Homo-oligomer: A and B are copies of this chain.
Amino acid sequence: MSKIKIALFGLGTIGTGVADIFLNKKEHIRKITGHDVSLAQICDKDTLSKRDINIPSDILTNNPDSIFNNPEISVGIELIGGIEPARTFVLQLLNNGKNVVTANKALLAQHGAELFEAARRNNCTIAFEAAVCGGIPIISSIATSLQANTILSINAIVNGTSNFILSQMEDGGTSYSDAVKEAQKLGYAEANPAMDVDGTDAVQKLTILAQLGFGADIDWKNISRMGIESVDAIDFKFAKNLGYRIKLLAVANRGDDGLELHVAPTLVKRDSPLARVHNAFNAVQVVGDYVGPAFFQGLGAGRKPTASAVVGDVIDTILGRTKITFDTLNLWNKNNEIVPIKNINNFYGKSYLRFDAEDRPGVMRDFAAVFGKKNISIASMIQHEISNPDNNNSNKQRAVIILITHESSEGDLLEAIKELENIPSIQGKIIRMRVQD
């Protein structure tokens, strides 16, 4: 039995979970790997705070070089998060011939090409199951088990924070701001939850899924993105009446004319598996040409589920499965065939729109004319009088208009929205969500 030494960067929530497994399930890991695997070094800028597991003080350091320069370390786990210093540390690990396991979706979405190129150059590997949907084995399932398939679509709830907020609003009638506070109280949301609720986190994970499932290399900033900040209690009420729930969906959809990618709050049919994913759970529905729909659900974040994925990757790396997968997938390789990404204006789909308008004759004619001009037909519409109009406008009766369109092109829809927002009798922004049947 040989000794294998690994190192960990970042002793936060997930790092503590990973350290916990390596320190307390040594025999379990020895049985699987046949090796004496030890967590030999942990690097964190904070070496003083007490953690809620017992970390031997001699393995904790704030000097990353002591890991890069340690020839005994063969695997480095990056759990710092964000771009820097994570990017530099991962490159240093690879350049020193160490394999990398990371949970960092932002880093992969932004610097995947650079890091994977560095890994190939150094004959090393990068494993990243934990970067998307925490404990759900979605990366390995697409990378290996489903490999006979051409992936046709991926529809996923990848952000637990926003799913928790939407669930609270839908099931508990909570307001958006109260739901955010509740998520923060329970540790599901950061003090600043912007990246979760504005769809950034979801788009970064979708970028990784799009690379893995479709070979698509796209800058995550170029993916169409809508967040959940404008979703209101009234939307859940109307969605429910129409037979839908509202979920922040990340979608990759292969079409004849390219790959459609977007993140948006989406009305999904109440009886679909994705509609029933509640609170902090994540879920992915993959459709393959042979397997058909395969659905995965689990805890997408948090200390233990994410640690489960990280340690799974470390074991795969030690056993050599990661090397095989890394070589065959050949991700983020600039020599790969370019997968065409569909122009957003050519997306086709149904939309949900909500806006406030003056409640007087002629207003409906005005906005109906806009839709008519853009060839967008309305599938259903609800007009609902606002009982407490703004004080500023108290002399005018106002109504909230909610409508669902038939399929239209995104280009036409976006132009229609712009025109609607210019109609004087329509007040404020048009709130828009996608609709999936």
> Interface of A with B (CB < 8 Å)?
17, 21, 25, 28-29, 32-34, 129, 135-137, 140-141, 144-150, 273, 276, 288-299, 304-305, 307-312, 315-316, 319-321, 324-325, 328
Q: Which residues does chain B contribute within 8 Å of A294, judged by CB atoms?
A: 135-137, 296-298
- Say whether A144 contacts B316, CB under 8 Å: yes
Inter-subunit contact B273/A290 (CB<8 Å): no
Q: What residues of B have a CB within 8 angstroms of the CB of A144 in the complex?
A: 137, 140, 144, 312, 316, 321
**Contacting A145 at CB < 8 Å: which of B137, B150, B289?**
B137
Shortest beta-carbon contacts, A-B, top 8: A137-B145, A148-B311, A290-B308, A135-B291, A291-B308, A294-B298, A295-B297, A290-B304
Q: Which residues of B contact A148 (CB under 8 A)?
A: 21, 25, 28-29, 307-308, 310-312, 315
Question: In the complex the two chains form, is B304's CB within 8 Å of A292's CB?
Answer: yes
Contact (A293, B298) CB under 8 Å given A144-B321, A320-B324, A328-B33: yes
Task: State the majority secondary structure of interface residues on A.
Answer: helix
**Which residue of chain B lies nearest to A283 when distances are taken between CB atoms in the complex?**
B295
A276 to B290, CA, bound (A): 23
| Cα distance A389–B121 in the bound complex, in angstroms | 81
B residues within 8 A CB of A288? 135, 308
Q: Known A-B contacts: A137-B144, A144-B321, A148-B310. Give 20 more (CB < 8 A).
A: A17-B290, A25-B150, A28-B150, A32-B147, A32-B328, A34-B328, A140-B141, A140-B144, A144-B312, A144-B316, A145-B312, A146-B312, A148-B308, A148-B315, A288-B308, A289-B304, A290-B305, A291-B304, A291-B308, A296-B296
User: Could you list some 22 contacts between A and B, CB below 8 A?
Assistant: A25-B148, A25-B150, A135-B290, A135-B291, A135-B294, A137-B144, A137-B145, A137-B146, A140-B140, A144-B316, A147-B315, A148-B310, A149-B308, A273-B297, A290-B304, A290-B307, A291-B299, A291-B308, A292-B305, A294-B298, A295-B297, A319-B324
Per the bound structure, the CA–CA distance linking A320 and B327 in Å amounts to: 12
Specify which chain B residues have a CB less than 8 angstroms from the CB of A324 in the assembled complex: 319-321, 324
For A141, the chain B residues whose CB sits under 8 A away are 137, 140-141, 145
**Cα of A18 to Cα of B284 in the assembled complex, Å:** 26
Contacts of A289 in B (CB 8 A): 304
Give, as a whole number of angstroms, the nearest-CB distance from A291 to chain B: 4
Set of chain B residues within 8 Å of A290, measured between Cβ atoms: 17, 21, 135, 304-305, 307-308, 311
Contact of A309 (CB < 8 Å), options: B17, B145, B321, B325: B145
What is the CB-to-nearest-CB distance from A344 to chain B, in angstroms, rounded to a whole number?
Answer: 29
Q: How far is the CB of A273 from chain B (nearest CB, A)?
A: 6
User: In the complex, how many angstroms separate the beta carbon of A107 from the nearest chain B beta carbon?
Assistant: 21
Minimum distance in angstroms from A157 CB to a CB of chain B: 13
A7–B304 Cα distance when bound, in Å, is 43
Closest to A298 in B: B294
Q: How far is the CA of A29 from the CA of B273 in the complex (A)?
A: 31
Q: Is the CB of B295 within 8 A of A298?
A: yes
